[in-house]
Structure 1
Amino acid sequence: MSAEVSNPNPEASGPVRVLSIAGTDPTGGAGIQADLKSIAANGGFGMAVVTALVAQNTRGVRSVHVPPVAFLREQLDAVSDDVVIDAVKIGMLGDAEVIDTVTRWLDEVRPPLVVLDPVMIATSGDRLLAAEAETALRGLLSRAHLITPNIPELAILAEEPAATTWPGVLEQALRVSERYAVRVLAKGGHLEGAHAPDALVDASGTLPERARVVEFSGVRIHTENTHGTGCSLSAALATRIAADGDWLAAIAEVKRWLTESITHADSLHVGEGHGPISHFAGLWSRGGLATERAAGEYLEDWWQAIAPIRHRANTLPFVEQLGAGTLDRDAFTWYLAQDALYLRDYSRVLAEASKLAPTPEEQAFWAAGANGAIAAELQLHQGWLPEDEVFSTPPAPTTIAYVDHLLAAAARGEYAVIIAAVLPCYWLYQDIGTRLVAQSHPEHPYASWLETYADEVFARSTRSAIGYVGEAVRRADPETRARMFEAFERASAHEVAFFAAPLEARAVPGHAE
């Protein structure tokens, strides 16, 4: 026996895949239902093959139905033919024929880790394994890497009276470990007293420093709600050991988890007998129940929050006249001259975003935007403006304010805030432009310029910008999200003011007051 279990599929990522082979519990506290909860609570992906259908509740077992073993084998093969199994937890098996079927499957598939909970006696005291099946079960023990019997089950395996002291439990576990060449997790839960210790027992001495027994202390929790603790423990151990192969660390962590789950068991109020443990109590208390919002949800909130700004943009005289084709040409060329000034610094901000971007894709995207702002956009402006006027027009107050906002965001060096600040120049600009394009016609005086709004390249860029900002919002902490939205909202207001300026500021040549 090795003290370590290697990952059977080291190239695979994600949670370990743990198969539970066990009976059912319709009340959800034990059996396969408890196993799946335990596997999930300890970071694994649970799978299940049913050996027996058990009519039971928290007060006891009423009857057991064992499906045909041919169907059991079909279940087992269906899983192993398709899924790489990292660990197997075995619980209730029911009868000798079921045990033989599982044994043959194990011999063929040879899972890298097998944890066997030799279920014979339920928490309620009911006998769950037919007497004639006990001999077959003993033959299965040597196929396991670890068995987790309670004290009554350990006594049956040792063919001795149940131990009444912790030293007696350890001695009995050593004899079972030696007889069947299997590690035993000895459990002190059935003993009297304030302490509830456990121990990993290995008669072959493969534990650290060739120890035969490694003990784990535990404090007894006074509750009657312990239904399914054995099932839950063994499934959790299979998951934790398979995850990293560290037996002692896995047992210590599972003990903490189980203690936490038992501590909160009374809060469940499930059944009138021995109620179940609360498998997810710790996760609920630490992580809460709120789902993580999608990136798009955050930005939808942002879009709705700037609805008043968007409404003002859509009703600006400049925008209405531009769409109708009635806009004064001097106002239009003044706007383009200011836009050229704006784009010169806007490209610098995009370049800073590229420098700080966390991924190569984002770095390339913002760098391309910086290049486009200078190359493509300024080329377009030069088609409408004399070359000597592109940068010679004095910047208007609205242009200075907008540029200062973006440069200030860039100066702080916070990537998420920078891209939030530049987003309106994509998103709001396209939103306004899409409506303007709809009004364009061949005789429209600004048709060639409006057509740039319909460019699919710009549309894709806008979608990418929205996506990158959305992901940054999703990853950010609440304080950063607040700074991002403030930058976005202020930039949106600047964007609208920029559209309003040609007519409202009266700063166009020939219109100055």
Structure 2
Amino acid sequence: MSVAATGIARVLSIAGTDPTGGAGIQADLKSIAATGGYGMAVVTALVAQNTHGVRSVHVPPVAFLAEQLHAVSDDVRIDAVKIGMLADVHVTRTVRDWLTQVNPPIVVLDPVMVATSGDRLLTQDAEQALRELLQQVHLVTPNVPELAILAGAPVATTWAEVLRQAQQVAGEHGVLVLAKGGHLAGSLVPDALVDAYTVREFPGMRIDTPNTHGTGCSFSSAVATRVAARTSTGAPSLADWADAIAEAKLWLTESITHADDLAVGSGHGPIHHFAGLWQRGGVSTRPTPARVAERWWEEIRDIRTATDDLPFVRGLGDGSLPREAFVWYLAQDALYLSEYSRMLALASRLAPSAAEQTFWAASAQGAIDTELELHTSWIADGVLAGVLPSGTTTAYLNHLVAAGAGGDYPVLIAALLPCFWMYQDVGTRLHPLSHDAHPYRSWLDTYADEAFAAATDRAIKIVTTVAAAADEPTRDRMARAFRASAGHEREFFAAPLRG
């Protein structure tokens, strides 16, 4: 499937390793993931290095390199390739041959010749092979010393010299050049997208930190990922490249800004690839609606157990409950349902979707119907007019009103849910104990009814879906409101026989 179909760019990094995780393939994979892509990796060299520099390089057989490359491309559609450390002429030519066969739509080359520490990472006899590789590359991203090698010129000391060398390389090799000013002196750190005729500059300010290890690897991988994400069909335009570089630079700046937070190593530490993501999105896994339902139901197990043990509930099940206690309960429940229906109507007004609005409005009408049909069949006309709400009823209703105050839809519906869920649970479990002569069969029929079970399932789905999509503080407030309502339900069942 294409990037347009999935929304995710599949980016292959071909590079060396860094056991400290700050540069090379490890940095590439972090950068690709942080900027919205799916990262894959083929290793060209095993590098023994840390934040102080490179100690040694081991290059595996190129036949194995070729096997890695073809293992990926034989199976996975590759949207972009980022090439980093190539180590020697044989590795470079193996990669070039693979590019010729596969012809990836986007190829970004970070010509890793000289590390930030000053270590030489590419043998001199491989430099010509790398220049030949430029013919199959769309964008090359050299730092200032690497650009000088590609241009066959002294290392530039001014931004104007950097741009002249970049245009020279672009013209000679027919490739776009991302010129980078990070190695120049001064507080300004400009970058530029350069071809043989035009220059598009991206200004920047130097960030005061020694922790910039892997910046070049990370920047080039981010650009490859962003341009692939922007290009669903055909080759990227110059504008696509420019937009991708601008996006990648914003991400890189944020990652460098927070580099000191990592405290990795005692030398030049790595950038913080995920600083922005962790800050804005957190690291907690978002639960599914089913997991929310399971967790909330388990978290009120103590309340449910205590409810089952109440004399009122046991007497309701076996029919031994005194009639006067049941009538008192129904009178209080009628007062409760009158206000509860208003809270359901409020939920309908606050609901963000038509389906939710319809459900809560229908539930409000259902609460009124229950009051009229069930309660009036037990309570004589005019009796309710003289009934005052008990302290238990008042406390529960005050809780619901507080939950709806300020238009907090998620918290309100979480507070409304136990009146569905606990009643349906109690009614369903007690109903098998009833019989035709059971004095409270009509109550049990009402709450064990299939229609009420379906409404309860719908209420659970709506509330838990909202909770799963909410941020963690909102989800916590919802859970607290749910548990508080469950506690009020227990007290409501306890009240008729208290005293």
Q: TM-score range by the shorter chain?
A: 0.7 to 0.9
Distance 1:340 1:80 in 2: 69
TM-score (norm 1): 0.77
Q: Secondary structure in 1 aligned to 2:136?
A: coil
The Cα of 1:166 is off from its aligned counterpart by 2.7
- Work out whether 1:322 is the aligned partner of 2:308: no
Partner of 1:231: 217
Aligned counterpart in structure 1 of residue 153 of structure 2, from 146, 160, 164: 160
Against the structure 1 CA distance between its residues 107 and 374, is the aligned structure 2 distance closer, same or farther, given a 3 Å change threshold?
A: farther
The Cα of 1:147 is off from its aligned counterpart by 0.6
Distance 1:128 1:478 in 2: 46
The Cα of 1:138 is off from its aligned counterpart by 1.8
The Cα of 1:32 is off from its aligned counterpart by 0.6
The Cα of 1:186 is off from its aligned counterpart by 1.5
Aligned counterpart in structure 1 of residue 421 of structure 2, from 423, 427, 438: 427
TM alignment of 1:339-488, pairs within 5 A: 346=340, 349-350=343-344, 352-363=346-357, 365-366=359-360, 369-370=363-364, 373=367, 381=374, 385=377, 393-394=384-385, 396-398=387-389, 401=394, 414-433=408-427, 435-437=429-431, 439-440=433-434, 445-446=439-440, 449-450=443-444, 453=447, 458-459=452-453, 461-476=455-470, 484=478, 488=482
Distance 1:168 1:120 in 2: 20
Against the structure 1 CA distance between its residues 433 and 100, is the aligned structure 2 distance closer, same or farther, given a 3 Å change threshold?
A: same
Contact 1:181 1:204 in 2 (8 A): no
Contact 1:346 1:373 in 2 (8 A): yes
Partner of 1:178: 171
The Cα of 1:118 is off from its aligned counterpart by 1.2
Distance 2:286 2:424 in 1: 29
The Cα of 1:128 is off from its aligned counterpart by 2.5
The Cα of 1:305 is off from its aligned counterpart by 7.4
The Cα of 1:326 is off from its aligned counterpart by 1.0
Q: Secondary structure in 1 aligned to 2:4?
A: coil
- Work out whether 1:62 is the aligned partner of 2:53: no
Partner of 2:81: 88
The Cα of 1:38 is off from its aligned counterpart by 1.6
* Structure 2 unpaired stretches of 5+: 231-238
Q: Secondary structure in 1 aligned to 2:424?
A: helix
Q: Secondary structure in 1 aligned to 2:462?
A: helix
- Give the partner amino acid of 1:239: T
Contact 1:357 1:363 in 2 (8 A): yes
Contact 1:198 1:218 in 2 (8 A): no
Deviation readout 1:431-461 (Å, 9 max, x if unpaired): 4335534755787554575366555664454
Deviation readout 1:383-441 (Å, 9 max, x if unpaired): x937x958975474348746787578678654324422321211222343355347557
TM-score (norm 2): 0.79
Contact 1:86 1:242 in 2 (8 A): yes
TM alignment of 1:19-418, pairs within 5 A: 19-58=12-51, 59-69=53-63, 71-205=64-198, 212-219=199-206, 221=208, 223=210, 225-244=211-230, 246-266=240-260, 268-285=262-279, 288-292=282-286, 310=304, 313-329=307-323, 331-332=325-326, 335=329, 346=340, 349-350=343-344, 352-363=346-357, 365-366=359-360, 369-370=363-364, 373=367, 381=374, 385=377, 393-394=384-385, 396-398=387-389, 401=394, 414-418=408-412
Give percent identity, aligned residues only.
59
Contact 1:116 1:148 in 2 (8 A): yes
Deviation readout 1:117-148 (Å, 9 max, x if unpaired): 01222233333233333333222213222111
Q: Secondary structure in 2 aligned to 1:450?
A: helix
Deviation readout 1:5-58 (Å, 9 max, x if unpaired): xx9632433x43322121222221211101111222333322222233333333
Q: In the comparison of the two structures, how many residue pairs are matched?
A: 487
The Cα of 1:178 is off from its aligned counterpart by 0.6
Partner of 2:236: none
The Cα of 1:116 is off from its aligned counterpart by 0.9
Distance 2:475 2:207 in 1: 45
- Give the partner amino acid of 1:323: G
Moved more, 270-279 or 289-298: 289-298
Contact 1:340 1:390 in 2 (8 A): no
Distance 1:92 1:113 in 2: 18
- Give the partner amino acid of 1:131: Q
Q: Secondary structure in 1 aligned to 2:6?
A: coil
Moved more, 406-415 or 90-99: 406-415
Contact 1:113 1:145 in 2 (8 A): yes
Contact 2:214 2:271 in 1 (8 A): yes
- Give the partner amino acid of 2:43: V
Q: CA RMSD in A?
A: 4.1
Partner of 2:233: none
Q: Secondary structure in 2 aligned to 1:62?
A: strand
